[in-house]
Chains A and B, each alone.
Chain A
């Protein structure tokens, strides 16, 4: 049972343009959503989060949008830079266990110069 799904395995974007990474979830008990970024041969690093009671959170070039009725969230990166090329994971917190993060499969973002 995949509670968090990232249906696009990969995304390719030109430098300077907007990157939009999508994530769908099924568990209504998640109280926070988080995005992590992962470079090859490294562990994921925390990027940005959003509470389930908000619909938008912004941090510099990164904005996360949450649509609770559609059980959908997205991460916008504007403008995209080659250094943003990485695997992006979305995760929902909570559900069956308070501190548990449930991750999606990840989306590989490639930003071309």
Chain B
């Protein structure tokens, strides 16, 4: 059974460019979480969805960040315009139910903004 799939695995872009990160949930899971990992702050939750509905987006840094779930198995995280301080590893995770328990993480997207 395939795990959480993220693409691309690596992204290098110039400041000001739009970046789109993609995530495919594990089949049957209905909760989706986007995280950002940095050395200073560790793993931060950006936003999470349950049944395609955003439940908590308090971690989204600013209006430059947006996340969508166009269907039950797929999500995108968009940064526009990107800035060097957005450089980090971005993970998505999925789980069954809204209890936030035992989340299954994807391999991450390493984003570098120059």
Contacts and interface: CB of A to CB of B under 8 A. Distances in A.
Interface of A: 6, 32, 34, 36, 41-46, 49, 89, 91, 93-94, 96-106
Interface string B60-101: 000000000000000000000000000000010101011111
Contact of A104 (B42, B93, B98, B99): B42
Interface of B: 4, 31, 33, 35, 40-45, 48, 50, 55-56, 58, 91, 93, 95, 97-108
A106 B93 contact: no
Task: Among B42, B45, B103, find the residue whose CB has the most chain A CB atoms closer than 10 A.
Answer: B42
B100 A89 contact: no
A42 to B, nearest CB: 6
Contacts of A49: 101-102
Given A42-B107, A99-B98, A105 B41 contact: yes
18 contacts: A6-B42, A34-B102, A42-B107, A43-B91, A43-B107, A45-B104, A45-B105, A46-B104, A96-B56, A96-B58, A99-B31, A99-B97, A99-B99, A99-B101, A100-B45, A100-B48, A103-B43, A106-B42
